[in-house]
Amino acid sequence: MAWPDDDLRDARSSTAVAVVVLDPERLLTTGVLDDIGDVRLVQSSWDLWQVFERDVRERSTVRERIVLHVVASNLRTASDLPIAIAQAAHVGTIRWPFAPTWLEVWRALGDEQAARLVAWLLESQRGGASDVISYLFGVLLPQPDVGAEFEAVVRLRTAHSLPEPLWQEVRPLLHGHLAQAVAKEPPDAGTLQAEWSGWMENGANSSAAAVFGSAPGAVLALLNRGLLQPARRSARDVPDWTAPGAIDTPAEEAIETQLAQRPNALPATLEAWVKIAEWWGEVRATMASSAPLPPELVERCWTEWSAIDRKFVPWIQANHGDLMARSQSRPATVDKIAPFLARRMRAGIKRVLLVVMDGMAFAQWSIVRHACRLSVLDGGGTVAMLPTLTSFSRQAIFAGTAPIGFADTVMTTSHERDRWRAFWTGEGLAPHEVRYENIAGAIASQVPSFGRERAFGLAVLAIDAMMHGAELLGDAQLAASIHAWSVHGFMRTLVQEATSAGFEVWVTADHGNLESIPAGKVSEGLLVEHAGRRARSYSSPSARDAARAEGIAWDPPGLPENAPSFLFASGRRGWISRSAQVIHGSLSIDEVIVPFVRVGP
C-alpha cells in the first residue's frame, strides 16, 4: 500500500478527458496531481460549474487532460456532483487511511516529514507518540530522569519546533514540572523564570538545581530564545556557564563564557548552522552593547568568526539550491515562510501576523528581544535568498516563492502587496482577509490597528534605516540605536496588541548584516550595473570576469534567467572607504541566516 498513490491509481490510468479528484479534507499537497493532467483547484460548487463549462465542455479540442482538484467540504462523493459532471469525468476520492489521531499531526508537518510519517504509519500502526517522535526527530521520550527529560523537551521546543498536535501527544509522557512548563502552549515562562531565579539565588538548595545544572545546553537555548531572562546571581555554587543568564555579569566574563559555549558545526547541517548563527549573534550583540572592550578580546571574537566564515560560505554555495527545494515542518529558506504559515492555518490557526524586520541579523534580534522583553514561543532561523538584498529576499517572503517566480519585478519591492495578496487568495482567503503594510515602525503610536484580516504581512523598516546610518561606530552605534528604538515601545506594543487580537505572531528578516572593514571603493563606470558594498552585479559573466573588484564570483540558484551576474565580497571586507560600516549583500552567516520565531509578550 502506498498512500495517496493507491487512491490515484485509477485516475492516472483513466482515459477520460477530465478527472475529478474529490479532496474535501484537503489532503493532497501542491504538485501531486501534475502528472495526471492540467490541474484546476476548485473550492466551491459554483467554481466547479464555471471551471467545467470553461475548461472542459466548451473546449473544441483537448490538448491535455483537465484535472479538477475539488476541495469543497460539501462535495465528498460522486453522488454530490452534478450528473453532467459525474458522467463526463472520471471521479476519484482521497481519504485518510490511518487513525484520525494522526491526521492533524500530518497536516502540521512539512511535506518531507509528513511523507516520513506516512511511511512509518504504513509500516506499523501500533506505535504511539514516543515512537513517532523518535522516528521523526531522533528524541527519546519518556526519559529515566527529570534532567534528561528537560533537555529532550527543550530540544523539541527549540531545535525541531514540534507542531501542536504532537505536543498534545507528548505532554502525557512528562513527569518533571520544568519539562511540563516548556511543553505547554504557550510555554509557561513564569514557572521557568521563577525556578531560574531561585537557582541563581540559592544554588544547590534550589529545587531546580539538579535539572538546570545537568542541562547547560538546554538552559542556554532557552536564554537565547527569551523563554528565560537573566536573573541576579548571588549563589556562589552555580557554575560559570550561567554567566549569560546572570544580571550584572561583566561583559568580558559574559563573552568568555559565550566563546567557551560555541556549538559544534559538525555535521554541517542547516540546523547546526542555525545554532552557530544564534550563538554568534549573542556574542556579537554582547560586544556591540559593551563597547569599548579590550582589543585582544575583540580580535579573538572576530578570529572565531573568521573560522566560521571559511566553512560556512562554501557550505551555503554548495547547499543553497537543495535548501530551497526542501519541504519540512519549518521553512529552510525565507521563500517557504508563507507556505509554512498557510499550513498552520489549514491546521486550525485563525489569524497570522508576519513581521518582516528589514535587515535584522541575529545580533540585533538579541537586543530587540531583551529590550522589548519578548518571549520566543517557537523558533530558530531560516536562510535568506541570495544575494542578501531586499528586492530579492524580502519580495520572496511576501510572494511565497523564489526570485525565479517574480522575474519581472526582481529588482524592485513595489509589488510586495500584490504578491502577498496573490499568495493568500490562492490559498482560499477572501481579499478582505489579506493585508500588507510597509511602515517605519518608529514609535508605539505607529502600530497599525487590526481589522478583519486573517493573514497580515508587515514590513518594518526601522532597523534597516538605523543600520544604513551606522557609519561612524558600526555595531556599537547600531546597538545603541536599536536599544533606544526598543524602549520607545513599537515592537512590544505590536506584539501585545496583535496577540490580544487573536494573531499568532511570527518575526523574521529578509537578510542580516555584517560590521565590515574597508577594502576600498572600486570605480568601474558602466561596467558594473549595481555597485553594492557587499554585492556587485554585472550584465554578464564576462563583464563580471573583467571587473576590477576582488571577490567571490558566483550566481546563486533560484534566480530568473534575466538576473545579473554577481560578485560577492569575501570575509568581512566591503567595497567602502570608511571603517566600521554595517552593510549587507554577501554570503556570511550574519547576512544569510536570519531569525524566524514565534513570539509573545
CB atoms within 10 A of CB 525: 6
Q: Could you please report the per-residue DSSP string of 501-564?
A: TT-EEEEE-S---EEEEE------GGGEEEE-SSEEEESSHHHHHT-SS-SEE---TT--TTPP
Q: How far apart are CA 98 and CA 170, in angstroms?
A: 20
**CATH 3.40.720.10 boundaries in the chain:** 320-513+588-600
Closest CA to 493 of 579, 341, 376, 374: 374
Residues in contact with 56: Cβ distance below 8 Å, sequence separation at least 6, in sequence order: 17, 18, 62, 66, 88, 89
- Between strands 455-460 and 434-439, the pairing is parallel
What was the pLDDT predicted at 53?
Answer: 87
For the ranges 164-173, 174-183, 487-496, 521-530, the lowest mean pLDDT is seen at 521-530
Reported residue count of the chain is 601
What are the tens digits of pLDDT across the range 540-588? 898 888 887 889 999 999 999 888 999 999 999 999 887 779 999 999 9
Residue burial 304-343, b: 16+ Cβ < 10 Å; e: rest: bbeebbeebbebbbebbeebbebbbbbbbbbbbbbbbbbb
Q: Which residue, 327, 322, 364, 356, is CA-closest to 342? A: 327
H helix runs in 347-453, sequence order: 362-372, 390-399, 416-426
| Cα–Cα distance, 383 to 331 (Å, whole number) | 8
pLDDT in tens, 17-63: 899 999 998 888 767 898 898 898 898 898 898 888 888 876 655 56
Q: Are 55 and 126 in contact (CB under 8 A)?
A: no
Q: What is the pLDDT of residue 362?
A: 97
Residues 340-358: what's their mean pLDDT? 93
Is residue 443 helix, strand or coil? coil
| pLDDT tens digits, one per residue of 197-230 | 999 999 999 999 999 999 998 998 898 878 888 9
C-alpha cell at 155: 530540544
The pLDDT assigned to 596 comes to: 96
Cα–Cα distance between 549 and 584 in angstroms, integer?
Answer: 17
Q: What are the angstrom distances between the C-alpha of 130 and each of 105, 107, 355?
A: 13, 19, 34
Query: Across residues 389-418, what is the average pLDDT?
Result: 93
**Neighbouring-strand partners of residue 566:** 537
pTM for this predicted structure: 0.79
**Which pLDDT value is given to residue 528?**
53
Query: For the residues 73-94, what does the mean pLDDT come to?
Result: 92
Summarised one tens digit per residue, pLDDT across range 451-472 is 999 999 999 999 999 998 877 7
Using the predicted structure, report yes or no on whether residue 127 has a pLDDT greater than 80. Answer: no
DSSP annotation of 389 reads -
pLDDT digits (tens, 9 = 90+) for 487-540: 899 999 999 999 999 999 999 999 999 999 988 877 765 445 566 899 999 988
C-alpha cell at 114: 509528513
Distance (Å, rounded) from C-alpha 264 to C-alpha 275? 9
What pLDDT is attached to residue 328? 67
* Residue tagged 547546526 (cell numbers): 272
Question: What is the rounded distance in angstroms from the CA atom of residue 67 to the CA atom of residue 335?
Answer: 27
Q: Which CATH superfamily includes the segment(s) 320-513+588-600?
A: Alkaline Phosphatase, subunit A (3.40.720.10)
In the predicted model, what is the mean pLDDT of the chain?
90
Span of 192-196, 298-302, 466-470 with lowest mean pLDDT:
466-470
- C-alpha closest to that of 348 among 83, 134, 104: 104
The arithmetic mean of pLDDT across residues 372-383, rounded, is 89
For 531, counting Cβ atoms within 10 Å of its Cβ (0-12 exposed, 13-18 middle, 19+ buried), the class is: middle
| pLDDT of res. 165 | 87
Residue-wise pLDDT for 228-267, tens only, equals 889 999 898 999 889 888 987 889 999 998 999 898 877 7
